[in-house]
Chains A and B, each alone.
Chain A
Amino acid sequence: MAVLVDERTKVVVAGITGSEGTFHALRNRSYGTQVMAGVTPGKGGQEVEGIPVFDTVADAVERTGANTSLIFVPARFAPEAIYEAADSGIGLIVCITEGIPVRDMAQVTAYLRGTEADLVGPNCPGLISPGRSNVGIIPGEICSPGRVGLVSRSGTLTYQIVHELTQRGIGQSTCVGMGGDPVHGIGFLEALERFEADPDTDLVVMIGEIGGDDEERAAAFIADRMRTPVVGYIAGFTAPPGKRMGHAGAIITGSAGTAQAKAEALEAAGAKVGRTPTEVAELVRDALS
C-alpha cells in the first residue's frame, strides 16, 4: 500500500496543452502513472501525444474514469480548476500552480470542507508513491519503492533528502509535497494521520521550515496519536527574523515560529530531528536497523 496515490490513480491534467502541463503529463505517464486525460477549455477533441483532451473535467471523468486532477493552469484560473475538479467527482486534487491569492485559497479550502475531495498544494511539487504512481513534478529517478513515508513543505530540499535515503537503500512508500503556501490542502497533520494508518509505512520523515505553526501542531499530533516513528528536519535556523508589521501573528499562534521552537517541539514529542539532510537519512537508517 501507499497513501493518496497508487496503481488505481487515474489522472486528468488541467492545463495539459500548456508547455509545463504537456512536459509533466508525459513525464508522469512514462513513469507509469495512468494519465487518462487532459482538460483545456476550447481544445476538447484534440490529443497530446495520445492523451485525449476535453473541454471540462466532467467530460474527462465521464469518458475516462479519471479520479485525480493534476493542475498546472495559471494562478488566476487555478481556483476555478479546483472548484471544477471537486464538483466533477474527483477525489484527489493536486495543484502545482504557485502564486494563487490567499483569499482565493481561503475560499477554496472552505468550500472543499463540504466535499469529499482532498487537496494537495497549491505551490507544491505533488506526490509520488515510488514504483506505483507519480502525480506532479517530483523527479521519479531519485525515488525508490520502500517503507518510509515523507511529507514536506519544500521542493528541492525534499529531493535532496529523498535522494540521500535512496542512496542508502532506503525506499519510500509515498512522498507528499504539501507545498509552501500559507493556506493549503493536506498538511503535516493529515499526512501523518494517513501514514500512521498505512500498514506499509514503518517510519515518517517530516520536513518543515520557519513560519507558521504547522510543525508545532504536528508535534502535538505525534505525541498524542502516533506509534510510527518520526524523523524531522527544519530549515531556517539562521534565517533572519522577518520584520514584523503588527502583533496579530504572534497572538494567534503563541509560537515564535522559529526553527528552534519547531525542532524543540518535535523532539519533545519524541521525534528525532536531524541537523543536516545527511543526518536525517542516517537517523532513518539507524531507526530502521
Chain B
Amino acid sequence: MDLYEHQGKDLFERHGIPVAERIVATTPEEAAEAAAKLGGGVAVKVQVQMGGRGKGGGVKLVHSPEEASREAARMLEEGFGGKPVTAVLVERLVDIGAQYYAAISLDRGAGTYLAMVSNAGGVDIEEVARTSPEAIRRVHIDAGRGLRPYQARRLTGHLPAEAREGALDLLSKAYDVLAEVDATLVEINPFVLLRNGMVMALDAKVTIDDNALFRHPDLAALADTFPVDPIEKHAKVAGLQYLKLDGEVGVIGNGAGLVMATLDLVKQAGERAEAANFLDVGGGASAEVMATSLEVILSDPNVKSVLVNIFGGITRCDLVARGMLEALERVTPEVPIVVRLDGTNAEEGRRILAEANHPRIAPAETMVDAAELAAALARGASRGSRSERERASGSGN
C-alpha cells in the first residue's frame, strides 16, 4: 500500500524527522486558507500514489492565497497521471542550501533491505545511478540487527561535513519508520540542507507491506482514503485478484502465472486483440466464484469475448465445468465464452460442457487454441461494431 506524501510525512514527524510546516487541503478554498495561514511562499503539491510529480506539473510554487487556490483547483479538477485527485498538500517554502537523496528499500535479490544515499540530489536520480554510480553509497541492512550506526556513517560519509550529522540522524530515523510500520520502501527525494544548517525531508514516499497490515490497524484504515475502481472493489470483496486493462478479451484463470501467460497468448494470437483484464480466481473455481468472475468481467463494456483458462491441480475440472454452468444460470452474457480445461478430470469437465451444449460456450482444446479463438471472436465482434458505426456516420452525412 502506497501512502500519500502527507501521510508519510506524518509518520516522519512522529519519528522526529524534520519536515516543513504543511496543511492538507481538499478544496481550493482550503488551499487558500492554508496558504494564508502559513504565510509567504508555499508549494502546492498534488497528493497521489505515484512518483514523477515534479516533472508532471504536480508541484507548484506560489506566493499568494489566490494563486494557491487556482493551482489547487486545477489539480483537483484535472487529476494526475490519469488518477483522480482528492487532496493537495500546501507546504511552507524553505531556504534550500543543497539537495540529496536517501532511500531504504527492499532488495529482492539480496533478500533484505538496502539503504542508499546520494550526494547528488534534486536531479534525475536514476540518471545519476547510471552515469556516476559513485555518487550513491549503498549498504545492505541485516533485518535482525537493523541499521547500525557505523553503516549510517558510511552512507553519509560523502556528504559535506555540515550535512553529515543531520543526514545520519535522518537516515537512522527513516529506518525506524521502515521497521515500525513494516514498510518496503522509505524514499526521501530530496532531503535538503537548509541555509540555517538544518537537515529536512522535503518529500516522503512510503510503501507498506500489505501482508503486514494486520499488525497496523491504523494504517490499514488509510486504505479508505485511496481512490478505488468500483469493479476492482467488487472483485476484491469476493477474494478475486482483478486488474482492468484496455483490451477486448475478458480473461479468467486460476493462478497468477497462468493468467499472465494467458494474457500473453491473447496478444500473440493477433495484432488487434488484447486482454481486457487480469483475473485470478485463486485456488477454487466454484459456481459462486465463476459467477462473480463473470459479473466482474462483463461489467466492462469493452469486453467482446471471454476466455476461461483453468488448469485443474487440486481443483477438479469436472467441478469447474459444473460451476461454470451454474454460473450461467445466474449471469446471462451476450458475448461468447471460450472455455479451456486441462489437468485433473479435464476430460470429464469437457464432457459435461459438451453435453450441456450451452449456446454461449465455445470449448477449446489447448491454451493456444483457446486464445486464438477468443481473440478471433473479439475481433469479429469489434469489426462488426465498427462497420455499424461507419454506416451510422455515413447516414448522417
Q: Which residue of the partner chain A has the closest CB to B267?
A: A238
Structural contact, A275 and B268, CB atoms closer than 8 A: yes
B-binding segment of A8-16, A59-67, A106-114: A106-114
**A235 adjacent to B261 (CB under 8 Å):** yes
A269 at interface, CB cutoff 8 A = no
- Tell me whether A278 and B366 are in contact in the complex, defined as CB-CB below 8 angstroms, given that A160-B258, A252-B109 are known contacts: yes
Complex interface: chain B residues within 8 A of A212 (CB): 108-109
Which residues of B in the span 102-125 have a Cβ within 8 Å of any Cβ on A?
A: 103-109, 111-114, 116, 125
- Interface 1/0 per residue, A238-267 and B, CB below 8 Å: 111001111111111110000100000000
Measured between C-beta atoms, what is the minimum distance from A178 to chain B in Å?
12
**B125 and A247 within 8 A (CB):** yes
Query: Do the beta carbons of A101 and B211 come within 8 Å of each other?
Result: yes
Decide yes or no: A111 and B144 within 8 Å by CB, A156-B258, A183-B108, A251-B125 being known contacts.
yes
Known: A76-B214, A109-B112, A160-B311. A209 touches B257 (CB 8 A): yes
A288 to chain B, nearest CB (A): 22
Interface flags, A145-158, vs B, CB<8A=1, else 0: 00000001111111
In the complex, are the beta carbons of B49 and A110 less than 8 A apart? no
Cross-chain contact B263 with A238 (CB below 8 angstroms): yes
Are the CB atoms of B260 and A247 closer together than 8 Å? no
CB contact under 8 A between A217 and B109, given known A153-B257, A207-B257, A243-B49: yes
Given contacts A243-B49, A245-B51, contact A235 B107 (CB under 8 A): no
Task: Report B-chain residues with C-beta under 8 Å of the C-beta of A213.
Answer: 108-109
B residues in contact with A139, CB < 8 Å: 313-314, 343-344
Q: Would B260 and A235 count as touching, CB distance under 8 A?
A: yes
- Given that A139-B314, A183-B108, A214-B109 are known contacts, is A251 also in contact with B258, CB under 8 Å in the complex? no
Per the bound structure, the CA–CA distance linking A49 and B297 in Å amounts to 43
Tell me which residues across on chain B come within 8 A of A233, comparing CB atoms.
261
A156 with B368: CB separation less than 8 A: no
Whether A197 is near chain B, meaning CB under 8 Å from some CB there, is no
Chain A residues with a Cβ closer than 8 Å to the other chain, count: 65
Residue contact A245 to B49, C-beta cutoff 8 Å: yes
Is A154 in contact with B268, judged by CB distance below 8 angstroms? no
In the complex, the answer to whether A157 meets B258 with C-beta atoms within 8 Å is yes
Bound complex: CA A253 to CA B107 (Å) = 8
How far does the alpha carbon of A251 sit from the alpha carbon of B114 in the complex, in Å? 11
Say yes or no: is A100 at the interface (Cβ < 8 Å to chain B): yes
Are A154 and B108 in touch, CB under 8 angstroms? no
Check: B265 CB closer than 8 A to any chain A CB: yes
Indicate if B185 sits at the interface (CB-CB under 8 A). Answer: yes
Contact A138–B313 (Cβ < 8 Å): yes
User: B346-388 vs A: 1/0 string, CB under 8 Å?
Assistant: 0000000000000000000011100000000000000000000
Q: Is B142 an interface residue (CB 8 A)?
A: yes
B 88-111 to A, binary, CB cutoff 8 A, 1 in contact else 0: 000000000000000111111101
Contact-residue size bin, chain B (C-beta under 8 Å from the other chain): 35 or more
CB atoms of A247 and B187 under 8 A apart: yes
With A239-B278, A278-B366 in contact, do A159 and B343 touch (Cβ < 8 Å)?
yes
- Residue contact A102 to B257, C-beta cutoff 8 Å: no
- Once bound together, how far apart are the Cα atoms of A238 and B275, in whole Å? 9
B254 at the interface (CB under 8 A from A): yes
Complex Cα spacing A27 to B268, Å: 38
* A-contacting residues, B11-56, CB 8 Å: 49-52
Contact residues in B for A76 (Cβ distance below 8 Å): 214
Contacts of B214 in A (CB 8 A): 76
Q: Which of B81, B104, B209 has the most CB of A within 10 A?
A: B209
Given contacts A110-B142, A142-B343, A213-B108, contact A101 B212 (CB under 8 A): yes
For residue B293, CB closer than 8 A to chain A, the reply is: no
Closest to B366 in A: A278
Which residues in chain A, 172-215, are within 8 Å of chain B measured between CB atoms? 180, 182-184, 207, 209-214
Q: Would you call A238 and B274 a contact (CB within 8 A)? A: yes
Whether B264 contacts A237 by the Cβ 8 Å rule is yes
With a cutoff of 8 Å between Cβ atoms, the chain A residues found around residue B129 in the complex are 247, 250-251, 254
Task: Answer whether residue B215 sits at the interface, using C-beta atoms and an 8 A cutoff.
Answer: yes
The yes or no answer to B2 lying at the interface (CB within 8 A) is yes
| Residue of chain B at shortest CB distance from A24 | B314
Q: Does B207 contact A (CB under 8 A)?
A: yes
Closest 10 CB pairs of A and B: A154-B257, A156-B255, A157-B257, A106-B143, A101-B212, A248-B105, A246-B187, A235-B260, A248-B103, A212-B108
Q: Would you list 19 pairs from A and B whose C-beta atoms are within 8 A, ordered by A residue?
A: A101-B209, A101-B215, A103-B209, A139-B343, A156-B255, A157-B255, A160-B342, A184-B111, A209-B260, A212-B109, A238-B266, A245-B2, A245-B185, A246-B185, A247-B125, A251-B126, A252-B114, A276-B368, A278-B366
**Could you list 15 further interchain pairs (A-B, Cβ under 8 angstroms) beyond the known A153-B257, A233-B261, A276-B265?**
A101-B209, A103-B179, A105-B111, A110-B143, A155-B257, A159-B343, A183-B108, A209-B257, A214-B109, A235-B261, A236-B264, A239-B263, A246-B105, A249-B185, A276-B264
Q: Give chain B's interface residues, CB within 8 Å of chain A.
A: 2, 49-52, 81, 103-109, 111-114, 116, 125-126, 129-130, 136, 142-144, 179, 182, 184-185, 187, 189, 205, 207, 209, 211-212, 214-215, 243, 245, 253-258, 260-261, 263-268, 274-275, 278, 311, 313-314, 342-344, 366-368
